[in-house]
Amino acid sequence: MDNRSKLMVGNWKMNGGLTANAALLAEILQGLPDVACRAAVCVPSVYLPQVGELLSGSALAWGAQDVSAHESGAYTGEVSVSMLRDMGVRYCIVGHSERRLYHAESDVVVATKAQRALAAGITPIVCVGESLAEREAGQTEAVVKRQLAAVIQANGHCISEIVLAYEPVWAIGTGLTATPEQAQLVHAVLRAQLQAASEHAERVPLLYGGSMNAANAAQLLAQPDVDGGLIGGASLKAADFLSMLKTASR
Ligand code: PGA
């Protein structure tokens, strides 16, 4: 909100490579002196050592895109919070719609992941959002409230330590963006729900995500309850990402 600097987070998804990562980050780092907002990139977990080394000591934080709901043990392919902590991550996205949809993550699993991250001192970026069918059926508010309620229930007063991202599923990677008014409406609903759960809810950054780009960022970020962005495609282009970071710095 007003006296809190914006938070802009790049979500690389399953993109990148050693050479491409180094080039992208070098270009972003060059532009960072002109950036006053908070910023981070969430990268594929195998690249966390590389990215951590390149960003160490810089103003750009790094994070993961998912974490296991389990602590340790026989969960082939999973990455635990303690492993993420070893890699120095500050943030971890949980409940991204691509995880909910393609990996059948339930509200309860997402809430458990948020809990694991918080317990390890990693800030979960909890994603909520409705599908196109849900929006058309007038269920937007009910869906995001249900998704957030599970996280509140599992995390109690610690809810004020999360970052919350509203990502309408129909706007992700589609080029369709929620209008600033549509985003603000849902953000206000989420803010009220957080406030009912914690007296410190004001400090929770509410990010908008879904085809945010250099052209539409300013209008979205001008909304009273939009505290930043979660940016997919446009975070893979240094010039675009930097331009959005500068917009968020105003
Ligand atoms: P997009 O992705 O910006 O490419 O729409 C956003 C996200 O899924 O976090």
How confident is residue 22, by pLDDT bands cut at 50, 70 and 90? very high
200, 210, 198: which is closest to 1 by C-alpha?
A: 200
At 1 the pLDDT is: 43
Name the percent of the chain lying above pLDDT 90: 96
Maximal CA-CA distance, the chain: 48
**Residues with active-site annotation:** 96, 167
In this structure, are residues 110 and 100 in contact, taking their beta carbons and an 8 Å threshold?
yes
At 236 the pLDDT is: 98
CA 62 to ligand 1 center in whole angstroms: 17
| Cα–Cα separations (whole angstroms), residue 3 to 34, 65, 90, 150, 225 | 19, 28, 22, 29, 12
At 176 the pLDDT is: 87
| Cα–Cα separations (whole angstroms), residue 169 to 86, 90, 98, 173 | 32, 25, 9, 9
At 2 the pLDDT is: 44
Residues 100-154 pLDDT 10s: 999 999 999 999 999 999 999 999 999 999 999 999 999 999 999 999 999 999 9
At 50 the pLDDT is: 98
- One-character DSSP codes across 109-128: HHHHHHHHHHHTT-EEEEEE
CA 73 to ligand 1 center in whole angstroms: 32
Name the percent of the chain lying above pLDDT 70: 99
CA 94 to ligand 1 center in whole angstroms: 14
When the candidates are 3.40.50.1980, 3.20.20.70, 3.30.365.10, 1.10.620.20, the CATH number that belongs to 7-18+38-248 is: 3.20.20.70
Average predicted confidence (pLDDT) for the chain: 96
Locate the domains of the chain by residue range: 7-18+38-248
d(CA 23, CA 232): 18
Is the pTM higher than 0.95? The answer reads: yes
At 173 the pLDDT is: 87
From the alpha carbon of 173, which atom of ligand 1 is closest? 5
161, 81, 165, 100: which is closest to 126 by C-alpha?
A: 165
Residues within 6 Å of ligand 1 by CB: 11, 167, 172-173, 209-212, 230-234
Q: Which residues contact 108 (CB under 8 A, 6 or more apart)?
A: 150, 154
Which residue's alpha carbon is at the smallest distance from atom 7 of ligand 1? 232
Residues 159-215 pLDDT 10s: 999 999 999 999 998 888 899 999 999 999 999 999 999 999 999 999 999 999 999
